[in-house]
Structure 1
Amino acid sequence: MANHPHFTVKSADRISKKTDQAMDKQIPSNGHVEPGISIRMGPVEDMDVDAPHTNGNVNGKRKSRGSIPNGKTYKDASSSDEDDKPLSKRRRTSQQTKKPKEDSESELSDVPLKARKPPKATAHQIGESSDSDIPLGQKLVKEKAAIEKAAAKEAQAIRKKEKAAGSKRKPKVESESEDDIPLAKKKKQPAKKATNGVKKVESDSDVPLKKKAAPAPKKAKAKVEAATPAKKGKAKAKEEETEQDREAEDEEEEYRWWEDPAKGDGTKKWTTLEHSGVVFPPEYEPLPRHVKLIYDGVPVTLQKDAEEVATFYGSMLNSTHNVENPTFNKNFFDDFTAILDKTGHGKDKDGKTVKIKKFEKCDFKPIFEWFDTERAKKKALPAAEKKALKAEKDAAEALYMYCMWDGRKQKVGNFRVEPPGLFRGRGEHPKTGKVKKRVLPEQITINIGKEAKVPEPPAGHRWKEVKHDQEGTWLAMWQENINGAYKYVMLAANSDIKGQSDYKKFEKARELKKHIDRIRKDYKQDMKSDKMADRQRATAIYLIDQFALRAGNEKGDDEADTVGCCSLKYQHVTLKPPNTVIFDFLGKDSIRFYDEVQVDQQVFKNLKIFKKPPKGENDDIFDRLTTAALNKHLNSYMAGLTAKVFRTYNASWTMARLLKDMKSTGTIPEKVKDYNNANREVAILCNHKRTVAAGHAGSIEKMQEKINGLRYQVWRTKQMMIDVDSKIKKKKGAEYFERPEDLDDDWVKQHQESLIEEQRQKITKKFEKDNEKAKADGEKEMKPKELEERLAVVEELAAKYKKENKTGKVEAEGKGPTVEKLEGNVDKLNQRIETMKIQMEDKDNNKEVALGTSKINYIDPRLTVVFSKKFNVPIERFFSKTLREKFDWAIKSVDEDWEF
């Protein structure tokens, strides 16, 4: 059957009043305009599709996705974060073939997919009581409206303050109320561009950072010092590494670049740069002779390169998400057979050629079993041997861990070249399973200072090129073979350059607060424009601002078919009167995004117009809008403003408003919960949501079991009080001493068994560890009899529990037990129970909200520091060691009075 060409239907250039009025009659009004609010949680990962063309996925039914593959690279240049890709390099989508739509089709005939809907947001998720008289949706709408009103007031106050202070803006011929005129409609003067095309913008902080000249850095050595080989194992390597870290930290203390924001604003990023290049993965070691791929029941010997590719697949048979994926298997076997054709396929035991033609006849189990055994051996190595191996590796790589950047030592983030293997991809990537080839020095370009010594490539090899690009912040780069993406060796997250990048990102969001009221006023006005392009652009900005949708770009045939706001198609949007919109598409990383949202009545009407027949499946909704045009329009308000700045601004501004009114008291865990409640509300209001993790239920169950274990200890301790003083039961009442009903006899018996087994394993592991230490120190190892003697306490514990179960009495434990001491123990146990309950509730509330995404990527880290200092909570409770290094500038630059 011949394919029919796809007839692209484009919206009319203008919207007639007749069309506008007809739409008004069709859609019942709810009587008021609301800010955008999400009803359900998205994105989701599970999807059972009825038709192969749904959601723009043309490869048939999608399998349920369990988790993001763990085969991560240090920098995934093939990420589908479309906003980071230069516009000039983006490709247009080839349209799918389809038959013309029937004229009789209803304008609202699109029906949501039959799929598991994400759960609705709950009151507990924003720390509210579930019995509140005000529905959650209504509460969030009111709160969002208040936050937007405060934002508009703040923007006007900032502009007024700047005018009063003698702003340097050139005066225009205008009325006194010029600020009320839509900025986009004023006569625009082309912005003066710097060399890099971005106009420099000063920070708008109401409380300027202290202008403090950065002291001159210590005079650094001319070359990066080579690390001394680890002659004394791990201790020596660790000592040297610690010393390097300490030196870097000392210099960081001296150079507080965030107090000199002008630093790095130009295009020249460095004057001098020295480094040692990259670390290559080890060469492939062939399998032992007895380990073979079996084809059609026959063990075959493969040429070295083909065998290496076979091990890529064979070693990961336990990764069911991948090896049960038909796309993964097909792509792997296509690449595998290509290399087999080059290397002569396999040989049987008699040396006869065995042609490997069918994937189904391949048995990789012997390869998997060998790798599995090797992994187990490595895991079982004595601790001392593991430490020695790590010390050896650290010593070999120490030379590459730091570079000299303008005379200052900086940590390098990712100096290892990614080893060859199979491409996993994210979500449902069409190239998953393809072979990632080994990267050779001939593919790598080195970036280094002109006066510096160029690192030596491995023997017998040469670099592709050596550059002295002072405008680049990369040290080395190469192009990978899967997506043709470039991989870069960059500085570590805690380096000056990376820190400045984060700092500028959040300062850009702070600058947006100065213009947000006018932008919102403009797009609300343009949503009623009779010009289709203006109305589509305004509606798209509304969706990006209110629901944190990514801008989106069209993809090529060989790219994952992901979607954003500007690339939404007819089937991705379902309209449910009076004002509910259902989004259902493959978002970033090919993860299904499903969300039900309530929108402004005008937005609902506009989307209906944009979907008006003869438009149908695979037709663009925003057919008169591109990401480039959208960002160009946004840039007219503020230099450098793009769609993704809204996500950062909305999250940071919302958090700032919540922190301003917050009164956090109680214990540290209670204060952390208050912070998480605020973060959770930001995530819900700004639509940063996620699917419930597969292991969440099990994790909550384990926490509950720990709490139950503590409750059991409380009961036992109370029984000990009776053992000490039999009259206490009458004094406190029998109810005080009753065992909780849910901790029945069966539960108690099972719990006791687990406690006995836990103690047995603990003692056994301690015995083995002591023996390993004795062996490493050259001392005599303990005999098995010693272990038997140590395990005697386990038998005593088992006997004690058996006696308690039989008699129903618990003997008091410890030296000189008294009722007062035991009561104190009960109080301590109850306190631990309450703390764990808070943590469990917090964890359960977080299951559908991406708190990490909000906290790390969108909420200005300085706001977290403000909370930490204001309520005296250690910053370690919010930022891990890695994040503390990444946000070192934020931790050191603000106090509790700082405002976003």
Structure 2
Amino acid sequence: MSSSSDDDAPLVNNKANGAKSADHIPKSVDQAMDKGNPSSSRVMPGVSIRMGPVEKMDVDKLETNGHANGTGNGKRKARSSATNGKSYKETSASEDEDNVPLTKRRRTAPAKPGSLSSSELSDVPLAKTTLKKPPKAAAHDIGEESDSDVPLGQKLAKEKANIERRAEKEAKAIRAEEKKTTTTKQKSKKAKDDSDDEALARKRKTPAKKKANGVKKDESDDDDIPLRKKAPVNKTKAKSGPTTPAKKGKKAVKVEETAEDLEAEEEEEEYRWWEDPTKGDGTKKWTTLEHNGVVFPPPYEPLPKNVKMRYDGTPVTLVPEAEEVAGFYGSMLNSTVNIENPTFNKNFFSDFKEVLDKTGHAKDKDGNKIKIKDFEKCDFKPIFEYYDAQRAEKKALPAAEKKALKAAKDEAEAPYMYCTWDGRKQKVGNFRVEPPGLFRGRGEHPKTGKVKKRVSPEQITINIGKEATVPAPPEGHEWKEVKHDNEGTWLAMWQENINGAYKYVMLAANSDIKGQSDYKKFEKARELKKHIDRIRKDYNRDLKAELMADRQRATAVYLIDQFALRAGNEKGEDEADTVGCCSLKFEHVTLRPPNTVIFDFLGKDSIRCYDEVEVDPQVFKNLKIFKKSPKKEGDEIFDRLTTSALNKHLGSYMTGLTAKVFRTYNASWTMSTLLREMKSTGSIPEKVKDYNDANRKVAILCNHKRTVAAGHAGQIEKMQDKINGLRYQQWRIKQMMLDIDPKLKKKRGADYFQLPTDLDEDWIKEHQAALVEEQRVKIRKKFEKDNEKRVAEGEKEMKAKELDERMEAADELEKKFKKENKTKKIEAEGKGPTVDKMEANLDKLTQRIETMKLQTEDKENNKEVALGTSKINYIDPRLTVVFSKKFNVPIERSFSKTLREKFDWAIKSVDENWEF
């Protein structure tokens, strides 16, 4: 960098509350920096070359409030539990903040400036000095050929540039068409008005003719009559068709309705709200609302007297409140990912001690008080063994008993499953209050392990219609408050104790209200395509603005648009150190010349976001200016920009435009472009893989990432085992062919009949044992199912002897495998076995193997890419429907039953020719 005095001049004001950027940026600073970095010509942004986080991120040790800097909260998805069904986040993923009462919205406060030691801006990437980089994404991770001569980053960056150029071209075309249409309408309206004026003038001059009965006949038609004054149309007659003319003195004969007429009537009963453009406008969400409240978790059942936690080897007695908390930890000793986490253990024991201090700690068998001080001396194993035995017992229940228990539970919860919303029955998404337990969190959450307290009725606010009957709270309790807020879509709410966040009972994902919310979200993204070229042109211009606030805003919009960074919000002191674009701090961004930016921070849900991206040289230069000394760790980079100011600026382009709309637009537009170019052929699995490859590109280009699931390696191993099992079947069939015709070995060569080298004898014996056990399980399940049927039909159950007889088939299979292993010969099976039949079976197995290989490859490629996030939240579901109809792929292959219900409006509203 140039040593010019202008360049060295401070561009920040060093105030008492931390360094803040200066108001303006002198042109001399830009010029000096350009000299230091001659390659300042504009380039298209690259794509992330990291798909992290893969390895654990180093985090500060916990101190006050569960975090080194005193922060300890963050947004996260509510975790499902055995008694909780779907999470609230899943059931209200598309709800806007508008549905939250103003009085309950989170108050934000500026973050306190960092107190860490000062560090000068360095061009040496942080990743090279202190952090390990996650491994690079391989070419196959996005469905590309690994032997391509073009580097992956260049290939996708080029594709992204082409997509953006097409977006610019389409935006201009849409606006031109709208302008043309508007002009045509104006001309048409003027011509009609002139024609009406002339007609009215003629009517005034021409006297009306009279009929014989003396009634005036109006020569004009009823176009001038307001619609509400026109005679009503007889819909029944119109729908039923012409009736037979009535003869004198006889009643008219009614035409019978056909099956088609009845079907049409049924269709009319379905509320197709997406075809009613006026529905959902305004702030009033409902006129009448009735529901039955919420379901509380069952009260705590104390442990048997012989099951006790041990402290320093001594069994101790706890009061029920403390015993319940001990049980939270004891029941999950098999969850090593949590109990081996020091943060989880520290937070749990801190909360556990609070309860112990309140309840008087523990007592031994003689009633002597024992004060529990050390976590290491606590032994929760007896509690775990009790709960683990209960789980095993429940799992071992006969299918009929499980079914009866579920039926009883469903019957008890039935009144809460639906509400009546404006006279229509709507399913409630989650009517169960979250049970108490230990907070897990996602990623490196600083509050993991803390105790989620039991929610009482006194904490819950009910939202219901004024005329409706308020649901009764549990006996001896009362609701915190009853509201009649028809501008909100929530039915009940309460504040949880971990993060202070409000939990809401909302309608189910497949309800009209949820569907309308999703529909409006994607329509808003569709509207953005008309303005995207102007927005990009403006922020590229303002990247060189002299006003610091304008330059920071333009840089932020660039990062949000090009790299799908979330906007980020100001947070209070008690929240987790999760950030977005506007709240990035000095230490979160490292610059590597000539134009690589390294982002490393905790993003949404406390998941580490690590990205290395190539940016426009002007953006690189701007970030260097924003980080200029005396800024240091803890200082914000975009210190003259807030999320509200950013969204207010975006709203000037288009009503309702906010930073989050860019993620939806970019994902949907990218998928739309890829679908236009897609020429998917082959089998259904091959077509599904083509769709997933496109979805994967969207996820990478739009920066949708996830941590690798803990069980991913095991799942891949199981899939590979299934493939190996099919290969073993193929080998057995080939041996049967030799049994039928030994001469085949000479004709086809010995290699054709060889056992695959990776399937050794040990693997074969293990696999054979698994096949025998699998058959035993199937026989046992079939026996139980047959018995259930007999009981239901009033017949006697079959005796255990019948099961033993059925098990003989598995015993025979086991004997057959032992004989094959001993004699090294496999006899042909089946009725009238022939070589042709065996070859047909081989072909079927080959097809199954290829399908499973595709599925395994797909799963492996997706391990670090959040395809579900893209498909459910950001890609317009109508595009998935277009793919399904265009390439004749059943929608079930893309959308699960839950998603088909959620996106029912999308499935029914478009055909293969629809475009985003």
User: What's the TM-score, normalizing by structure 2?
Assistant: 0.83
Using the alignment, how far apart are the partners of 2:443 and 2:333 within structure 1?
19
Shift of 1:147: 0.2
Using the alignment, how far apart are the partners of 2:796 and 2:817 within structure 1?
36
Structure 2 residues without counterparts, runs of 5 or longer: 1-13, 187-234, 236-264
Tell me the equivalent position of 2:885.
869
Tell me the equivalent position of 1:286.
302
The answer on whether the counterparts of 1:158 and 1:514 sit within 8 Å (CA) in structure 2 is yes
Which of 111, 115, 123 is the equivalent residue of 2:126?
A: 111
Tell me the equivalent position of 2:394.
378
Aligned to 2:20, the other structure's residue is in SS state coil
Aligned to 1:302, the other structure's residue is in SS state coil
Tell me the equivalent position of 2:652.
636
Using the alignment, how far apart are the partners of 2:61 and 2:358 within structure 1?
40
Shift of 1:379: 1.4
1:47 aligns with 2:57: yes
Deviation string 1:524-546 (CA, Å, 9 cap, x unpaired) is 11111122111111111111101
Tell me the equivalent position of 1:510.
526
Tell me the equivalent position of 1:138.
154
The answer on whether the counterparts of 1:68 and 1:426 sit within 8 Å (CA) in structure 2 is no
The answer on whether the counterparts of 1:267 and 1:471 sit within 8 Å (CA) in structure 2 is yes
Aligned to 1:566, the other structure's residue is in SS state helix
Shift of 1:837: 1.4
Which of 740, 763, 767 is the equivalent residue of 1:724?
A: 740
Using the alignment, how far apart are the partners of 1:295 and 1:69 within structure 2?
31
Tell me the equivalent position of 1:233.
none
1:8 aligns with 2:21: no
Q: Please show how residues 339-418 of structure 1 align to structure 2 within 5 Å.
A: 339-418=355-434
Using the alignment, how far apart are the partners of 1:68 and 1:115 within structure 2?
30
Quote the RMSD (CA, aligned, Å). 3.2
1:754 aligns with 2:770: yes
- Which amino acid counterpart does residue 887 of structure 1 have in structure 2? F
Aligned to 1:89, the other structure's residue is in SS state coil
Using the alignment, how far apart are the partners of 1:786 and 1:304 within structure 2?
47
The answer on whether the counterparts of 1:49 and 1:114 sit within 8 Å (CA) in structure 2 is no
The answer on whether the counterparts of 1:279 and 1:416 sit within 8 Å (CA) in structure 2 is yes
Residues 665 and 832 of structure 1: CA distance in aligned 2, closer, same or farther (over 3 Å):
same
Aligned to 1:561, the other structure's residue is in SS state coil
Shift of 1:94: 2.0
The answer on whether the counterparts of 1:30 and 1:578 sit within 8 Å (CA) in structure 2 is no
Shift of 1:734: 4.1
Residues 321 and 125 of structure 1: CA distance in aligned 2, closer, same or farther (over 3 Å):
closer
Using the alignment, how far apart are the partners of 1:741 and 1:107 within structure 2?
54
Shift of 1:783: 5.2
Larger Rg: 2
The answer on whether the counterparts of 1:6 and 1:98 sit within 8 Å (CA) in structure 2 is no
Tell me the equivalent position of 1:596.
612
The answer on whether the counterparts of 2:740 and 2:834 sit within 8 Å (CA) in structure 1 is yes
Using the alignment, how far apart are the partners of 2:824 and 2:328 within structure 1?
59
1:422 aligns with 2:435: no
Tell me the equivalent position of 1:92.
110
Deviation string 1:574-630 (CA, Å, 9 cap, x unpaired) is 111111111111111111111111111111111111112222211111111111111
Residues 688 and 6 of structure 1: CA distance in aligned 2, closer, same or farther (over 3 Å):
farther
The answer on whether the counterparts of 1:123 and 1:129 sit within 8 Å (CA) in structure 2 is yes
Using the alignment, how far apart are the partners of 2:797 and 2:373 within structure 1?
55
Residues 460 and 693 of structure 1: CA distance in aligned 2, closer, same or farther (over 3 Å):
closer
Using the alignment, how far apart are the partners of 1:593 and 1:169 within structure 2?
50
Using the alignment, how far apart are the partners of 1:161 and 1:18 within structure 2?
44
Using the alignment, how far apart are the partners of 2:42 and 2:861 within structure 1?
31
The answer on whether the counterparts of 1:159 and 1:514 sit within 8 Å (CA) in structure 2 is yes
Shift of 1:441: 1.8
Using the alignment, how far apart are the partners of 1:817 and 1:106 within structure 2?
78
Shift of 1:786: 4.3
Shift of 1:807: 4.2
Aligned to 1:47, the other structure's residue is in SS state coil
- Which amino acid counterpart does residue 495 of structure 1 have in structure 2? S
1:586 aligns with 2:602: yes
Using the alignment, how far apart are the partners of 2:291 and 2:341 within structure 1?
42
Deviation string 1:287-329 (CA, Å, 9 cap, x unpaired) is 2222223333333333332322232222222233333333333
Q: Please show how residues 441-452 of structure 1 align to structure 2 within 5 Å.
A: 441-452=457-468
Deviating more after overlay: 585-594 vs 554-563: 554-563
Shift of 1:764: 4.4
Using the alignment, how far apart are the partners of 2:370 and 2:453 within structure 1?
25
1:74 aligns with 2:90: no
Residues 80 and 810 of structure 1: CA distance in aligned 2, closer, same or farther (over 3 Å):
closer
The answer on whether the counterparts of 1:384 and 1:776 sit within 8 Å (CA) in structure 2 is no
Residues 6 and 325 of structure 1: CA distance in aligned 2, closer, same or farther (over 3 Å):
farther
Using the alignment, how far apart are the partners of 1:527 and 1:404 within structure 2?
52
Tell me the equivalent position of 1:236.
none
Using the alignment, how far apart are the partners of 1:793 and 1:478 within structure 2?
57
Tell me the equivalent position of 2:708.
692
Using the alignment, how far apart are the partners of 2:274 and 2:391 within structure 1?
46
- Which amino acid counterpart does residue 622 of structure 2 have in structure 1? N
Using the alignment, how far apart are the partners of 1:561 and 1:534 within structure 2?
26
Aligned to 2:317, the other structure's residue is in SS state strand
Shift of 1:49: 5.5
Deviating more after overlay: 285-294 vs 774-783: 774-783
Aligned to 2:590, the other structure's residue is in SS state strand
Shift of 1:793: 3.2
Using the alignment, how far apart are the partners of 1:273 and 1:82 within structure 2?
18
1:160 aligns with 2:179: no
Aligned to 1:644, the other structure's residue is in SS state helix
Aligned to 1:120, the other structure's residue is in SS state coil
Shift of 1:394: 0.7
Using the alignment, how far apart are the partners of 2:91 and 2:449 within structure 1?
15
Deviating more after overlay: 550-559 vs 815-824: 550-559
Q: Please show how residues 494-509 of structure 1 align to structure 2 within 5 Å.
A: 494-509=510-525
The answer on whether the counterparts of 2:21 and 2:626 sit within 8 Å (CA) in structure 1 is yes
Using the alignment, how far apart are the partners of 1:304 and 1:756 within structure 2?
47
Using the alignment, how far apart are the partners of 1:438 and 1:749 within structure 2?
51
- Which amino acid counterpart does residue 33 of structure 2 have in structure 1? M
Aligned length: 812
User: What's the TM-score, normalizing by structure 1?
Assistant: 0.84
Q: Please show how residues 755-770 of structure 1 align to structure 2 within 5 Å.
A: 755-767=771-783
- Which amino acid counterpart does residue 160 of structure 1 have in structure 2? A
Using the alignment, how far apart are the partners of 1:735 and 1:866 within structure 2?
47
Tell me the equivalent position of 1:126.
142
1:566 aligns with 2:582: yes
Aligned to 1:10, the other structure's residue is in SS state strand
Residues 128 and 879 of structure 1: CA distance in aligned 2, closer, same or farther (over 3 Å):
same
Deviation string 1:479-517 (CA, Å, 9 cap, x unpaired) is 222222222111111111111000000001000000000
- Which amino acid counterpart does residue 707 of structure 1 have in structure 2? I
1:19 aligns with 2:19: no
Q: Please show how residues 660-809 of structure 1 align to structure 2 within 5 Å.
A: 660-767=676-783, 785-809=801-825
